[in-house]
């Protein structure tokens, strides 16, 4: 179960790092400010969407793990 928590944390950290790296890259790119801001906005929206998807996946994994633990402890009937 700890491995799944680490996996979700890794994904979130990776996405955050990618967003920060892209933002820094765009800020140093030789483009007009208006284009840079438009690109940053687009990338931020994409990153937010991916982060939301990753959070939903992490939630699903946590719920599945919870159900497995409950089944193993006998608090829940299998398949319920």
Q: Tell me the per-residue pLDDT of 21-65, one tens digit each, with 9 for 90 and over.
A: 877 877 777 777 788 788 878 888 888 888 888 888 888 888 999
Nearest Cα to Cα of residue 4 among 50, 73, 78, 63: 63
Instruction: Say whether pLDDT at 4 is over 70.
Output: no
Band of pLDDT at residue 79, cut at 50, 70 and 90: low
Q: What is the pLDDT of residue 1?
A: 46
Q: What is the pLDDT of residue 76?
A: 56
Q: Which residue has the higher pLDDT, 1 or 18?
A: 18
Confirm whether pTM is higher than 0.75: no
Spatial neighbors of 26 by CB under 8 A, at least 6 apart, are 36, 39, 40, 43
């Amino acid at each position: 179960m700890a491995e799944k928590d680490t996996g979700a944390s890794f994904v979130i950290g990776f996405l955050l790092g990618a967003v920060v790296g892209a933002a820094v890259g765009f800020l140093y790119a030789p483009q007009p400010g208006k284009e840079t801001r438009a690109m940053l906005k687009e990338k931020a929206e994409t990153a937010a969407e991916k982060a939301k998807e990753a959070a939903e996946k992490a939630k699903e994994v946590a719920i599945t793990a919870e159900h497995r633990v409950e089944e193993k402890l006998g608090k829940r009937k299998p398949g319920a």
